[in-house]
């Protein structure tokens, strides 16, 4: 484990969002979805790719509250530009489980 300062952690911008659109991503090397999430008026709608097909259907993701890191560099994934990182944990089968929000909070709120 690498220790970081509070100031370093504070630079990571984690925000609340809501998934508004999900599509299959057949060009990805591993099974994945293209995901669009609304992060409120300040940030807007961002897109990403996520390898979460083992635990979630497209329908189950729509309307889900999520946590996204919104200040990473953009990344080109098989011709699709990822604009945020959808955060989650690996389960016992190494499949990703999305980190969620306990109560509904407005889109764009910052994680403290």
pLDDT digit string (tens) for the chain, length 112 residues = 999 999 999 999 999 999 999 999 999 999 999 999 999 999 999 999 999 999 999 999 999 999 999 999 999 999 999 999 999 999 999 999 999 998 889 999 999 8
Tell whether 8 is covered by a domain. no
Tell whether 13 is covered by a domain. no
Q: Is the pTM of this model over 0.85?
A: yes
Tell whether 1 is covered by a domain. no
Domain that holds residue 91: 18-107
Both tokens of residue 25? 């991503």
DSSP reduced 3-state for 85: strand
What is the tally of structural domains in the chain? 1
Tell whether 7 is covered by a domain. no
Tell whether 2 is covered by a domain. no
What CATH number did the domain enclosing 53 receive? Answer: 2.40.50.140
Q: Nearest 5°: CA angle at 44, between 26 and 23?
A: 15
């Amino acid at each position: 484990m690498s220790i970081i300062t509070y100031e370093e952690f504070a630079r990571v911008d984690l925000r609340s969002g809501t998934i508004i659109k999900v599509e299959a991503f057949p060009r990805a090397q591993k099974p994945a979805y293209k995901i669009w999430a609304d992060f409120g008026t300040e940030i807007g709608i961002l897109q990403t790719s996520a390898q979460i097909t083992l635990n979630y259907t497209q329908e189950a993701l729509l309307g889900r509250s999520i946590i996204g890191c919104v200040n990473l560099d953009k990344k080109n994934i098989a011709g699709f530009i990822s604009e945020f990182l959808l955060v989650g944990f690996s389960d016992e089968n190494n499949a990703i489980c999305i980190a969620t929000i306990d109560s509904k909070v407005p889109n764009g709120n910052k994680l403290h």
